[in-house]
Amino acid sequence: MANLKSKTDMFKKAFILTLLLLTATTPIKQAQAAIPWAEIIKQAVKRVVRAMDLLVQRRQNRQIRLQNAQKTLENAMAKLKLDEIEDWVKKQRELYKEYYEELKKVKAVVSYYFRIKATLDKQAQIVGQYQTAWAIFRNDRHFTAAELAQMEKVYKGILEETARSVELLELVVKSFATQISDVKRLEIIDRAAKAADQIYDELNTFNQENKLLSLSRARSEFDAKVTKELYGIQ
C-alpha cells in the first residue's frame, strides 16, 4: 500500500512538472500581439533609468567643478592686495550663489531620482507579473479560445497604460533640460506613480480572478490539486 502511494505521488509530481514545462515552452499565436508591448516597456524603463543616472552624474560633476573653483579663488586670496579684495568678494558672491543654486538642483534631482526609480520598479513588476501569468493562462485547458482572446485584449490594454505611465517619467527626465517648474514636474511624477499603482492592483485582481475561474472548472479532485499547485493557490 505504501509503495502504491509512493508511485502515485511520483506520478502527480511528474504530471505537474510536465504541465509546467509545456506552459513555459509551448506558446500559442494569441500571445504574439501583447508580447512586443512587454519588451517596449522593458526597454523604456531601462532608457529612463540610464537617462536619470546620467542626469544625476552631470549635476554632481558640475557641483564638484564649482567646489574646485571656489577653492582656487580662496587660495588666491592670500596673494590679493587690499584694492583687489572688493573685486574678489564680488566674485565670491557670484560663485557661492551659483554653487548653492547648483547644490539645490543636485538635491532635487536625487530626490526625483528615487521617486522615479520606485515607480519604474512598479512598472517593471507589472510586466513581470503579466509575463508569468499569461505564460500559464494561455496553455490552461480550462479556458476557451474565445476567453483567451479576451484575456489577451485586457493584458494588451494594461500594457498600453503602463507604457503611457513610463512615457510620463521620460517627460520628467527630459524636463530638466527645459524650463519647467518643480510643481509641474512633481505633478507628472505623482500622476505616473498613481497610474502604476492602479494598473498593478488591477493586474493582480485580474490574474487572481482568472486563477479562481480555472480552479472552479477543475473536473476532478486531482485536477483541482494540480491547478492549485500550478497557480500557488492555498
> Would you state the cell numbers that stand for residue 87, as one nine-digit string?
573685486
37-88 pLDDT tens trace = 677 787 777 777 777 777 677 666 666 666 665 566 556 555 555 556 566 6
Supply the DSSP symbol for 11.
Answer: H
How many Å apart are CA 142 and CA 151, to the nearest integer? Answer: 13
The proportion of the chain whose per-residue pLDDT surpasses 90, expressed as a percent, equals 25
Average pLDDT over residues 11-18: 41
Query: Mean pLDDT, the chain, as a whole number?
Result: 75
CB distance 60 to 102 below 8 Å: no
Which value, in Å, is the radius of gyration of the alpha carbons in the chain? 28
Average pLDDT over residues 20-24: 39
Q: Where are the domains of the chain?
A: 30-231
Highest mean pLDDT among 110-114, 181-185, 196-200: 196-200
Structure confidence at residue 4 as a pLDDT band (50, 70, 90) = very low
Helices (H), 138-181: 145-175
State the pLDDT at residue 197.
94
Whether the model clears a pTM of 0.75, i.e. scores above it, the answer is: no
Cα distance between the two ends of the chain? 28
